[in-house]
Amino acid sequence: MENITPELALPGFRFHPTEEELVDYYLKETALGKNLQSVIIGFLNIYEHDPWDLPGLAKIGEREWYFFVRRDKRSGHVGKPNRRAEKGYWKATGSDRQIRCLKKPKKTVGLRKTLVFYTGKAPKGCRTDWVMNEYRLSSTSFPRVLASAYLIEDIVLCKIYRKATPLRVLEQRAEEHATRTS
């Protein structure tokens, strides 16, 4: 069940923004206190939910779901956000990737962190197909005076999706299942 607002229930409409658009338009405008996101992207503490529950809570999306999230810092871990969910946790993979401006390739507008959902408790969790791209503004997105006045460190935009299982893995599973049942 999708929570698409009536004005977005248009035949052929797809919300498919670039990373630059996500950061430099949606996230930046929201951090500045403008209420543009309410129609397409809503605020939700995604860590109160498991990823398979999130599609039903999104305002729009068929294969990708978008949410604004207020970062919740863990006590005792300076600057590190709390990413625990009900039945697991989100684990970062690799380092942050810079999101650059298309018109000015030397300008970084934001950063992307990729995370994978694991069921169970760290460090012995079981990896799932659920992936999150967490977008945040870079410190150069605003003049220093504005940066401290607004929520650039406290709000992130998250894109959640389920990674497709490769065909060879599906074939291998089918083969293993056939071997066990014969």
pLDDT in tens, 11-23: 777 888 999 999 9
> What is the model's pLDDT at position 161?
96
In the numeric block, the tokens 């049942």 are attached to: 181
Higher pLDDT among residues 148 and 45, named by residue: 45
> What is the model's pLDDT at position 32?
80
> What is the model's pLDDT at position 88?
95
> What is the model's pLDDT at position 176?
79
> Could you tell me the residue ranges of all domains in the chain?
6-181
Higher pLDDT among residues 169 and 53, named by residue: 53
Higher pLDDT among residues 148 and 169, named by residue: 169
- Tokens linked to 33: 């206190």
In the numeric block, the tokens 């014969």 are attached to: 182
pLDDT in tens, 20-34: 999 988 998 888 877
pLDDT exceeds 80 at position 127: yes
Q: Rounded to whole angstroms, how far apart are CA atoms 52 and 115?
A: 15
Q: Rounded to whole angstroms, how far apart are CA atoms 132 and 116?
A: 6
* CATH 3.40.120.10 is right for the domain spanning 6-181: no
Sign of CA dihedral 51, 52, 57, 63: positive
Provide the pLDDT confidence category of residue 65 given band limits of 50, 70 and 90. very high
